[in-house]
Structure 1
Amino acid sequence: MNIKKLCQMQKVLDERIVKEHKLEGKDLEENIILALLVEISELANETRCFKHWSTKGPSENHVLLEEYVDSLHFFLSIANHNGYNVDRLLEVYTRDFKQTRDAMTLVSSFINVTEKVVTMKTANDAFHYIDAFAAYIDLGKILGFTWEEIQQAYVRKNEINHQRQDNGY
């Protein structure tokens, strides 16, 4: 996945939103973190992985992928807001910090990502950002998404988000 390219695409969208909605000078980081948590929860809801009381299966894969990239938009916005070089952070994290994890269930993976996002907000540093982002990438792997699928879905959704801005979303 070309994260640099995705960060640049997200920056263009975020700058457009700030300008068109007259949000210059406003600190939107808490809004973005809450939006991230909501989107992760929407993804969990579509997987239905925690709904032990229901026999209905998960949504179709394309729906799950779209929900997954909705969260990716907000991870990239946070990186841009803080000036993080996500490619470099992932390289260092993978090389020096990432610990071998026991096989996680989908439910425990969602809980793990959510906990790490909350910790990221509190710590507000590059290490905790990349720890949360790496857990999110792991969630995508558990869901069976490839880097190529994620990037293609992100590009499609980014275009949709621009169209939504064109139409006064």
Structure 2
Amino acid sequence: MIKITKEQIKELLQTQRNFDDRIETKNISDLMAAFFIEFVEWVNTVEFFKNWKQNKGKARELQLEELADMLAFGLSLMNQVGDKTGYTERQLSTLFVGLAEEQANATFELTSANFVMMLSKMTNEVIKGIDISVIVSFAYAPFMFANTYYTVDELVEAYKKKMEVNHGRQDKGY
């Protein structure tokens, strides 16, 4: 079950904003591309489609790291699209928690058909135009995947760990 509070989402959004403030140039199109790429990178670590392998799936820690990257770009999109459209952090967290409550038991089992369908659906949503509810659903997706393959707590912990790594990279001129 996915249980997340407005306070937790606000904290995650602020954590992401603190990192994003270190990046001089940002644009939503690049963030969207990065979000999709991290989704595909995470899928590649789960390896559900590699029927030729007897032991599918990379190490759990690596899977969570890739999912945490996807979450980071989802949160960054929420912040930037929210800023652009005038949504406050409070409003964003309310939208997010509303979606989480609606889909509290949502899981998403990866199959080749589901993967292609989800990638197509996400792409079509972007083509239609960036809408805040779509962005919130994108940021929610890693939680749904965590609810299927890990735990939400593991995802949040992996995200926080990855943010420490990302700050360290920026400190070194990454």
Question: In which range does the TM-score fall when normalised by the shorter chain?
Answer: 0.7 to 0.9
Alignment of structure 1 residues 1-169 onto 2, 5 Å: 1=4, 2-18=8-24, 23=25, 28-83=27-82, 84=87, 85-94=91-100, 104-107=108-111, 108-122=113-127, 123-143=129-149, 145-169=150-174
1:149 Cα offset (Å): 1.4
Q: Percent identity?
A: 28
| Equivalent pair of 1:116/1:132 in contact (CA under 8 Å) | no
TM-score normalized with structure 2 length: 0.78
For residues 12-37 of structure 1, give each alpha carbon's deviation from its aligned partner in whole angstroms, at most 9, with x where no partner exists.
1111112xxxx2xxx61111111111
1:15 maps to a residue whose letter is D
Question: Structure 2: which 5+ runs fail to align?
Answer: none
Q: CA RMSD in A?
A: 2.5
Question: Structure 1: which 5+ runs fail to align?
Answer: none
- Distance in 2, matches of 1:118 and 1:166, equals 34
TM-score normalized with structure 1 length: 0.80
Number of equivalences: 159
1:94 Cα offset (Å): 4.6
- Distance in 2, matches of 1:100 and 1:39, equals 24
- Distance in 2, matches of 1:73 and 1:92, equals 20
1:131 Cα offset (Å): 3.0
2:69 maps to a residue whose letter is D
1:4 maps to a residue whose letter is K
